[in-house]
């Protein structure tokens, strides 16, 4: 009799190892057979690997069950209820990353005038790409930033041949804006979602800002403004110049590509820590952090494939949290070594009487590596640095023959 072992506790994986965004426009979001899915009006299910995504934006026409909200919270995925094209925010979930020491540290910096000024100056330094004049007040820095942003918009409009009459849009009627402004609104909404997920994952409050104040997402806007012109704003102008039939959809897809190309998800949390550390004083000590130690920074993502046979339903549901099931028992994803080992730990604990093979891309002679677990006649073998598969034939007493191919 096979002894059943408990699966490891379900916990969030780092933001830097996730995909950025997913949008759900119509359908019921639920957990069926342990899998986070969107069910349309015809009963067709679309699987979303919820634990491998930073933020899921729920647009008009979407509904979500209690089980789906609970699973998203356990794996640290932010849920945002937004208006059409993601322009207006109606509500946000709490993925459970808040820590009292970090919240108190952030609030202390915001309440002490000198510390607040230092943090704000650091934000402007990162935006300008150079040190700020120590004689400039925050109001003067805001004026300089406003003029810089206006100039950048004009330069991008000229580069892409887009008409530009200024940043104008009404969040209550997003469709009334011109195409360029609609593209910009969709692009910044994507960036705000990713930044809010990072702020919450790092344990801080989205509401306690330093340059922006008085809004539920003030700190999110502070952080997003640092990365806006190196990531999503050029994308918005580029898409607007093409005059697509679905500008918002094209912007979202292009933003995902931009986030991956600029490695934004690896930058946001270290930037938050760096910014807040600038406001430090003898009476304000930053909390200990475990984000991005040096050994993690050099780890690149690798394509990962898992093929599973006869595994328990609970393990199928667990794998579907992080990986996309493209065929029955075939799961794919893109993760670092640390997360790959974490997933393999779950496989080892919940395998039962099944068998699993995990393959991932690697800088080897074969271009990949793989592990197997459970009863199977194929196993990996190293042949002078070349990874091969060894096949064990059936016992002689077996009447049936089997083609080793």
The CA radius of gyration of the chain, in Å to the nearest whole number, is: 24
Is 212 known as a binding-site position?
Answer: yes
DSSP-based three-state secondary structure for 331: strand
The two tokens of residue 73 are 């919270």
DSSP-based three-state secondary structure for 290: coil
Is 246 known as a binding-site position?
Answer: no
d(CA 67, CA 30): 7
The two tokens of residue 357 are 């093979």
d(CA 198, CA 192): 10
Bridge-based pairing of strands 89-92 and 324-327 is unpaired
Burial of 288 (0-12, 13-18, 19+ CB in 10 A): exposed
Burial of 278 (0-12, 13-18, 19+ CB in 10 A): middle
d(CA 219, CA 210): 7
Facing residues of 82 across strands? 89
The DSSP result for 276-289, as a single string, is HHTT-BTTBPPPP-
d(CA 127, CA 223): 10
- CA 69 to chain CA centroid, Å, is 17
d(CA 177, CA 155): 20
Is 334 known as a binding-site position?
Answer: no
The DSSP result for 22-74, as a single string, is EEE-SEEEEEETTEEEEE-TT--EEE--GGGEEEEEE-TTEEE-HHHHHHHHH
Binding-site positions? 145, 212, 225
Binding-site positions for Mn(2+)? 145, 212, 225
């Amino acid at each position: 009799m096979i002894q059943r072992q408990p699966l490891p506790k379900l916990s969030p994986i780092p933001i830097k190892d996730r995909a950025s965004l997913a949008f759900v426009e119509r359908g019921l979001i639920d957990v069926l057979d342990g899998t986070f899915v969107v069910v349309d009006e015809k009963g067709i299910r679309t699987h979303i690997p919820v634990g491998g995504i930073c933020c899921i934006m729920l647009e008009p026409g979407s509904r979500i069950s209690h089980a789906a909200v609970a699973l998203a919270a356990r794996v640290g995925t932010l849920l945002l209820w937004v208006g059409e094209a993601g322009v207006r925010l109606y509500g946000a979930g709490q993925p459970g990353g808040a820590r009292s020491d970090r919240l108190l540290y952030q609030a202390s910096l915001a309440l002490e005038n000198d510390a607040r000024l230092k943090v704000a100056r650091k934000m402007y330094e990162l935006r300008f790409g150079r040190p700020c004049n120590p004689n400039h007040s925050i109001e003067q820095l805001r004026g300089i930033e406003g003029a810089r942003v206006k100039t950048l918009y004009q330069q991008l409009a000229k580069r892409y041949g887009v008409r530009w009459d200024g940043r104008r849009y009404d969040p209550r009627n997003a469709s009334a804006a011109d195409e360029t402004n609609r593209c910009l609104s969709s692009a910044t909404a994507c960036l705000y979602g990713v930044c809010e997920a990072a702020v919450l994952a790092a344990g801080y409050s989205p509401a306690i800002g330093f340059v922006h104040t008085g809004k539920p997402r003030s700190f999110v806007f502070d952080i997003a403004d640092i990365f806006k012109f190196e990531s999503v704003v050029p994308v918005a102008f580029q898409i607007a110049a093409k005059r697509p039939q679905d500008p918002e959809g094209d912007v979202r897809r292009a933003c995902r590509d931009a986030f991956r190309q600029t490695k934004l998800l690896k930058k946001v949390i270290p930037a938050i820590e760096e910014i807040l550390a600038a406001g430090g004083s003898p009476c304000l000590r930053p909390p200990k952090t475990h984000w991005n130690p040096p050994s993690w920074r050099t780890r690149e993502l690798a394509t990962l494939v898992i093929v599973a046979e006869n595994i328990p339903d609970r393990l199928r549901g667990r794998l579907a949290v992080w990986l996309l099931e493209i065929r029955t028992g075939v799961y794919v994803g893109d993760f670092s070594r640390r997360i790959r080992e974490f997933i393999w730990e779950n496989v080892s604990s919940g395998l039962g009487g099944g068998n699993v093979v995990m393959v991932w891309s690697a800088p080897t002679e074969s271009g990949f590596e793989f592990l197997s677990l459970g009863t199977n006649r194929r196993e990996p073998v190293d042949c002078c640095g070349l990874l091969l598969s060894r096949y064990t034939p059936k016992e002689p007493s077996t009447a049936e023959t089997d083609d080793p191919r």
